[in-house]
Amino acid sequence: MVPVGTDPPSRLDGSETGVTVIIPVKVSGPSGPPQGDRTRRAVGVVGEVFITLGVLLLLLCVYQLWWTNVESAKATDVVRDEISSEWETTPVIKSATGGKPGTIARPASGKGFAFLYIPRINDKVWRLPVIQGTSLSVLAEGAGHYTSSALPGQVGNFAVAAHRATHNEPFRDIDAIKPGDKVYVETKAGWYTYVLDRYKIVKPTDTWVINPVPSKTKETPTKALITLTTCNPRWASYERWIWWGHLTKATAKSDGPPDGINPRSA
């Protein structure tokens, strides 16, 4: 009881009344990081992921744009040496008629059997091996011969494909070729000279371009033609760049190479 006229206590700690009053105090435990810290941490993780992906993409670009060219150049040299060695150790195929190349057998899949020369783009296509087939492994070693097409010099369509970008990119400068340019094909039996007539950009599904008579499905061929195919644009593959030409000359191997062609300069 507080005496009348005296001031009331200034605090409830029981000092004036002799009674201790306990006031509970809530003590909080450790709290998590502030929202800002969590956000910064998440952004950091995402940033590291993007950096890693960027490095991987850069390595992939280096591999595609540079290293595949290095590997393919070595593979091309190996195939070139294999063809040359075979020709040197086996007799030259002679023709039944003087001055004309003999007949070569259709090669096995994956086997090199000819060399391609295009003076207009000779820094890339000079003594370039022509290999039977058009698989990715074949095109990494040289130009691929469409197996359903004619052999060099034969009546029909001698059709070949090559990369325009990566894997030594033999047909990189196909857009520099002009009508009237010559293409030379060397086999064990002889030399074949083709003149290019025209080009066309088509869809990948337009397989008629390598028919014995291009654009004709059932017509019987009467001429010896050549077709060059590659991707277009250079860094894509949703189109195909096609060159067509015709045979103008065929000579036996014993007559030597055409004027201006030095097979050993490759």
Catalytic choice (145, 167, 231, 234): 231
**Is 231 assigned a catalytic role?**
yes
- In the residue annotation, 80 being an active-site residue is answered as no
**Pairing of β 112-117 and β 126-132:** antiparallel
Radius of gyration of the CA atoms of the chain, in A:
38
Q: Which of 127, 163, 164, 167 is catalytic?
A: 163
Amino acid identity, residue 213?
A: V
Q: Give the C-alpha separation, 129 to 115, whole Å.
A: 5
DSSP string, 185-241: EEESSEEEEEEEEEEEEE-TT-GGGGSSBTTBSSPPP-SEEEEEEEEESTT--SEEE
Q: Write down the catalytic residue from 167, 172, 234, 240.
A: 240
Q: Is 240 a catalytic residue?
A: yes
The single-letter DSSP state of residue 169 is: -
Cα(181)–Cα(244) distance, integer angstroms: 11
Catalytic residue IDs: 163, 231, 240
